[in-house]
Structure 1
Amino acid sequence: MPNLRPLAIALGLGLATLVVTDASAAPKKKAASRAPAVAAQCSDFHDVTNAGWLKANPVPQTGATTALGQLAERTRVQQRELLDGAMKAPQGNVQKLLGDFWASGLDEAAVEADGSQPIAPLLTRINAIKKAKDVPASIAALHQVGIPVAFNFAPDIDLKALDRHIGYFMQGGMGLPDPAFYTRTDADTVALMARYRAYVKQILALTGTKAADLDAESQAVIALETELARNAQSLAGINNPFNNYAPISTKELNSRYRNLQLDAFLKAQGVNDDLVSLSDPALFKALDGMVTRIKPEQWKAYLRWRVGDAMAPYLSKAYRDAEFEFRGRVIRGETIAPARWEQVLDAINVAAGPMVGREYAARHLSAEDRRQAAVIADKIRETQIEAVKANSWLSAEAKTEAQAKLAAMKIEIGTPLRDLDYSVQPMGRGSFGSNMLIASTWRHREEMKRIGKGNADRRWDVLPQQPALAYDIAQNRLIVTAAALQGPIFNARSDTADKYGSYGALVAHELTRAIDAKGSLVDAKGELRSWWTPADKTAWNLLGNRVAAQFSGYEFPGVKGAKVNGELTREENLADLAGLELAWAAYNAVEPGAKPATQQGFFRAWASLWPQQLSPNEAAQRLTSDTMAPGKWRTNGPLSNLPSFGATYSCKPGQPMQRVEGDQIKVWR
């Protein structure tokens, strides 16, 4: 975009006086002057900067269109092109694996002919269950291939030693997302359960249940899941990590739960750690009893159903249609199934996402891009440390801890520092469903390797091919994915001001998380403790209250009469403001003599991140659920608190884009 005109020219064109000219009128009086018009940049910077984008992207009928959403769509096309290349002319073993995987998924005729064959070995094992003692081994075998049944088991941080992961035994094994669905009796839930029972019957029929047995077996499946649900926590409870943390020695497992054979389960997953977390002993005690009390035939029906349901998106059309009609339409609210290439790409990212990420970064992230991104991130960190030293609201002890934590922070750009083990049996092009199981087994194996001392940082919780900047609070690291290092976030060839206004501000947004209210719960050594004083917490809450009040005054675009929920969005809004303050300070340190025309690129780059168009339904949903403010106010809200913005565009205090000094909110400046 060309540089905007100086304010003097804009005002010169906008000034006007009203003069009455009438020959019979009394002698002319001096005309009353009107207040000068506000320059467009000082009135609504978001709309002015993004005028071209907004015109090119009208309000959609459903969903949302956003600049960052378009970036995410572009990265999916890039992944498709990468996999097409790997299919036609693979470069190296990993590409050969991925290319064959991709080809097998795109061959719909082969997938159709394959029918239930990919899961036949799993079904044969399940059908061979004769006694109660056979059930735990089948449960363990399904977990090994990435199909969790009866319960969930996954690595997560040890809350008393954040440098390690331990395995968490948790509730799971239910086909519905909320345990409450199994026990509520309202009309909507009853209707949902009827649809669910029909879906269970469809999958059981496809996995071998005779027509005469479908009613009984589907009822048996739902009865078993209902028993799991009755012993499960609510979603609110399970989403609190502190509720899920209850470390016990692995040696204790067998004495407590002899029927479940959890020591054998751990060995089957390749886990040899001496500690696990099991936060709900009553649930696992009930499960232990269910192993012997529930007849093997009921377990077999349940396990066959879980295999068929988990694998349905990757099998023949009968499976896929059944899964989409229930999970797609009813649970996810989708109206149209995605294109085949999108389905296969999603499947590969689920089962082999880190493999794709490795090849994606090799193709789309240059060494120079990585170097520039690292230099800016380091500069932002240096600026944040200096801002902490000069800060007026943090206590002396909090300043000391904040500086130590920022200095210790790891910055990982493009891909995780530690690579994975890509030794996996050849996939071939013969069977997409079988390839899913091969890749899923590999992915599960790599997940299990995260368990144990010194393994917590083995990989990220985002994939390199997904555009993301994130702060990992447990590992005190800033993550910048390879996919994020492209427009509108980052362009290695753009001006320095542009890079700092978009990428730099987003880095700063995430970096401040290390020392904000949530970051203050983990210290520089990675120990879980609060290092803020009561006065620090009070000061932060006062800042948050002011930001919440500011944003609560803004109209919510697309919802008539509604205002932004300032309380819901306060933490993100604080991080946006703090990020812009730091990125601007860092930019000025790098280019201290830049002229206003050059500096304007910083603010335009920030605004170019946030254009969005929301359908009415999407806007109404975001109003009550989105923790981020609408794009218009993510642009204008924080900028109006910055004197640097007003100085660059000659905006006067009290104009929409320049709050008066007494109203301006400062976090780190």
Structure 2
Amino acid sequence: MRKVLIGGLCVSLIAGLSACNNPTTAVKSPEASQTATAVSQALGSGIEFAHFDNSIRPQDDFYQYVNGTWLKNTEIPSDRTSIGAFYDLREKSRDDVKAIIEQVAAMPNLIIGSDEQKVADLYRSFMDTATLNKLGISPIQGELDAIAALKDKNELVRYFAHSQIIGGGTPMAFYIDIDAKNSSRYATHLYQYGLSLPEKDYYFNQAERFVNIRKAYLAHIEKMFTLAGLANPKASAETILALETAIAEKHWDVVQTRDSTKTYNLYQVKDLPKLAPDIDWTGYLAVLGADKQTDIIINQPSYIQGLNEIIKTTDLATWQTYLQWQTLTRAASNLTEALDNENFAFFAKTLNGQAEPEPRWKRGVATVNSLLGEVVGKVYVKRHFTPQAKERMQALVENLRGAYGDSIKELTWMSDATKVAAADKLAKFNPKIGYPNKWEDYSKLTIKADDLFGNATRASQVEHSKSLAKLGAPIDRDEWHMTPQTVNAYYNPTMNEIVFPAAILQPPFFNLQADDAVNYGGIGAVIGHEMGHGFDDQGAKFDGEGNMRDWWTEQDLKEFSERGKALIAQYNGYSVFDDLHVNGSLTLGENIGDLSGVTIAYRAYKKSLNGKEAPVIDGLTGDQRFFIGFTQIWRAKAKEEALRNRVATDPHSPAEFRALGALSNMPEFYTTYDVKPGDAMYIAPEKRVKIW
């Protein structure tokens, strides 16, 4: 497992985290903007008018006004839990990758060990259900035997470490990442882990929905144990749920775990026995290969203390049953069709409302993307991303950077001293666009056409070895945490970098055939969003070098905090369902990113006009096109079950509130659409939130 404090644009897929194609799409650089009017007249508006619902007043619900007809008429496919702009692009990216894989797989006489052989055989290993059915649970039998052979609690803890290395389940997750308070070095970290349900509240909430989920989860475990031929399915299910509930009780909640201050706790390894005396730290770290490190960052110390008590008071047989389950459930999609289907029935259908599984080829593509992503990414870039697109994206990023700098200078609530530090951080942003400068090396990974579980296990082992090699080494500034074919984007505070994979650079985000206004509203707001993460409630704790330190004056920090509290209150007021509201505290960072992104993108758009009036295209002014362009990128629908899970666990607000929340705070939106008191989107001027 790898935890990285990354602010992302993503609208998370419930069935799996993405956790951002049009290669010729472009925006004009500032130098070209003097001809903007003439060029724009030859371009379309980029607005998807067929999606509008003109029965809705834009002043009351701009999201429904722009997307309402699409929302009414569009059905979510039975093999998906969500549909919309992001999801459609992800489908296209998957189609593009499938074409690459199939072309590679059709090549004759592939050389064993070559990238091409690995891609072809990994895909084949996933698609070959006949072999998977024949193998049964034999691929995991070695792990089940090792679990059964555990003799004491020290061996149990050492098995936790082993399970971590092979990608199995464990109640604590070890990972290596940059030290948030010393960004010149890599450090070891521990993070709470070990639950099968989405979040701790699922184990305790007494509302009918959660009670029914727990009943279904018990039945699912029992069914999985039965299909696998494991002993005592019913009793084992009860044992597993009881232990996971005890673990969940010690977990921090989703709001606490996104607090970078609270989760930075540096311990000397020699002092770990004081924190958790019943955990064999020497054996645990030795198995991981990290026993030479003198310190470790514990994200949730009270959880480790609580886990210590659970290990101490829970008998070994109970832990063995739990580990059987963790091994089985995490391998399920790589085993028989029967186990795979039952895994789908609970985690996708019951939890998220997905009516039927995706075609197997889609999941095969996802597996290749996951384990060999940059091998495929190299080909994807050649086919779908041109140098011209990268150059034009770089120009747009610099335009947004300049607009952000101007905005910082003009802030009335921030002192000059803090403005200097903020401007320094902005100047040190490192934009990464399209694809890495240095591609991932997969030479040590062995892939076999008849060993899907082994392929996944070996990939996890290779990844662990690569992470270990970072300890004591210089920071790898070329590393990416998303592949080029990922439709998403992210900000990484310890690297102070904003990253835009190639696949997001296509309509409705980035459109060569459209006037600048819609591009600034789309990809411009995406760029601004990622820049905004550098100055959200967590990103603002990090300086331009990527170190978490206090660079604010006391008064400025107070002012910043008050604005954040106002945004929390605003989003807490948004009702997703009659019994469910947005969690303003959980979503604060992303909401700051959205508000900052569209605000700075608008400023950059106006700056690009060089004082000239934007042309009217398709009856719309430039400002109208900008705001519509922003709102149409959030077009989305989700199954109720999936949306409820998302609200409970995802730091992003639901799509409609990402549009409405940001625009309701922008004075320019009020002017453009004549929003007045009494209109549903109206917020009194003194209550509107402006941060950056």
Normalising TM by the smaller chain, what interval? 0.7 to 0.9
> Is 1:473–2:493 an aligned residue pair?
yes
> Is 1:122–2:146 an aligned residue pair?
no
**Map of 1:531 onto structure 2:** 551
CA contact (8 A) 1:60 1:614 kept: no
Change beyond 3 A, Cα 1:337–1:119: same
**1:569-584 to 2 correspondences below 5 Å:** 575-584=593-602
Change beyond 3 A, Cα 1:60–1:163: same
DSSP 3-state at the match of 1:326: helix
Aligned equivalents of 2:104, 2:146: Cα separation in 1: 34
Question: Percent same amino acid among aligned pairs?
Answer: 23
2:431 to 382, 394, 411: 411
Aligned equivalents of 1:487, 1:342: Cα separation in 2: 22
DSSP 3-state at the match of 2:616: helix
Instruction: Give 1:611's aligned amino acid.
Output: R
**1:51-130 to 2 correspondences below 5 Å:** 57=74, 65-89=83-107, 93-130=114-151
**Map of 2:331 onto structure 1:** 311
> Is 1:402–2:422 an aligned residue pair?
yes
TM-score if structure 1 supplies the norm length? 0.76
Q: Shift in Å at residue 311 of structure 1? A: 0.4
Q: Shift in Å at residue 404 of structure 1? A: 0.6
**Map of 2:287 onto structure 1:** 268
**1:473-492 to 2 correspondences below 5 Å:** 473-492=493-512
2:663 to 638, 641, 656: 638
Change beyond 3 A, Cα 1:44–1:144: closer
- CA deviations 1:540-596 (Å, max 9, x no partner) are 567668878999999x7x979999999997775664454344334433444424642
- CA deviations 1:231-278 (Å, max 9, x no partner) are 555666555554443322334557987875433433433435332134
**Map of 1:286 onto structure 2:** 309
Q: Shift in Å at residue 397 of structure 1? A: 0.7
Instruction: Give 1:265's aligned amino acid.
Output: Y
**1:577-656 to 2 correspondences below 5 Å:** 577-592=595-610, 593=612, 595-597=614-616, 600=622, 602-612=626-636, 628=653, 631=656, 634=659, 638=663, 641=666, 643=668
2:267 to 228, 248, 256: 248
CA contact (8 A) 2:587 2:651 kept: yes
Structure 1 gap segments, 5+ residues each: 5-36
Aligned equivalents of 1:553, 1:255: Cα separation in 2: 44
> Is 1:445–2:465 an aligned residue pair?
yes
CA contact (8 A) 1:380 1:504 kept: yes
Instruction: Give 2:164's aligned amino acid.
Output: H
Q: Shift in Å at residue 317 of structure 1? A: 1.9
Instruction: Give 2:119's aligned amino acid.
Output: L
DSSP 3-state at the match of 2:534: helix
CA contact (8 A) 1:476 1:526 kept: yes
**Map of 2:163 onto structure 1:** 142
DSSP 3-state at the match of 1:597: coil
Q: Shift in Å at residue 323 of structure 1? A: 2.1
Instruction: Give 1:286's aligned amino acid.
Output: E
> Is 1:391–2:411 an aligned residue pair?
yes
DSSP 3-state at the match of 1:596: coil
Highest CA radius of gyration, 1 or 2? 1
Instruction: Give 2:97's aligned amino acid.
Output: Q
Aligned equivalents of 1:498, 1:472: Cα separation in 2: 27
Aligned equivalents of 1:627, 1:189: Cα separation in 2: 22
Q: Shift in Å at residue 401 of structure 1? A: 0.5
Change beyond 3 A, Cα 1:436–1:515: closer
Structure 2 gap segments, 5+ residues each: 1-42, 47-53
> Is 1:504–2:534 an aligned residue pair?
no
Aligned equivalents of 1:185, 1:614: Cα separation in 2: 24
Q: Shift in Å at residue 147 of structure 1? A: 0.8
DSSP 3-state at the match of 1:413: strand
Instruction: Give 1:247's aligned amino acid.
Output: L
> Is 1:151–2:172 an aligned residue pair?
yes
Change beyond 3 A, Cα 1:56–1:429: same
Change beyond 3 A, Cα 1:311–1:458: farther
Aligned equivalents of 1:178, 1:240: Cα separation in 2: 16
Larger mean Cα displacement after TM superposition, 627-636 or 244-253: 627-636
Aligned equivalents of 1:553, 1:220: Cα separation in 2: 40
Larger mean Cα displacement after TM superposition, 83-92 or 621-630: 621-630
Instruction: Give 1:605's aligned amino acid.
Output: G
- CA deviations 1:419-475 (Å, max 9, x no partner) are 433223331211222222222333343444555564475744444332223222332
CA contact (8 A) 1:357 1:464 kept: yes
Aligned equivalents of 1:320, 1:176: Cα separation in 2: 17
Change beyond 3 A, Cα 1:667–1:89: farther
CA contact (8 A) 2:380 2:485 kept: yes
2:346 to 323, 326, 339: 326
Aligned equivalents of 1:159, 1:618: Cα separation in 2: 33
CA contact (8 A) 1:165 1:456 kept: no
CA contact (8 A) 2:354 2:639 kept: no
Instruction: Give 1:76's aligned amino acid.
Output: R
TM-score if structure 2 supplies the norm length? 0.74
Larger mean Cα displacement after TM superposition, 511-520 or 632-641: 632-641
**Alignment root-mean-square deviation, CA:** 4.9
Q: Shift in Å at residue 303 of structure 1? A: 3.0
Q: Shift in Å at residue 407 of structure 1? A: 0.8
Instruction: Give 2:616's aligned amino acid.
Output: A
> Is 1:372–2:395 an aligned residue pair?
no
Aligned equivalents of 1:321, 1:428: Cα separation in 2: 24
Instruction: Give 1:519's aligned amino acid.
Output: G
- CA deviations 1:337-376 (Å, max 9, x no partner) are 3322233334444444455545544443222212211121
DSSP 3-state at the match of 1:515: coil
**Map of 1:29 onto structure 2:** none
Larger mean Cα displacement after TM superposition, 592-601 or 538-547: 538-547
Aligned equivalents of 2:523, 2:145: Cα separation in 1: 53
Aligned equivalents of 2:190, 2:223: Cα separation in 1: 30
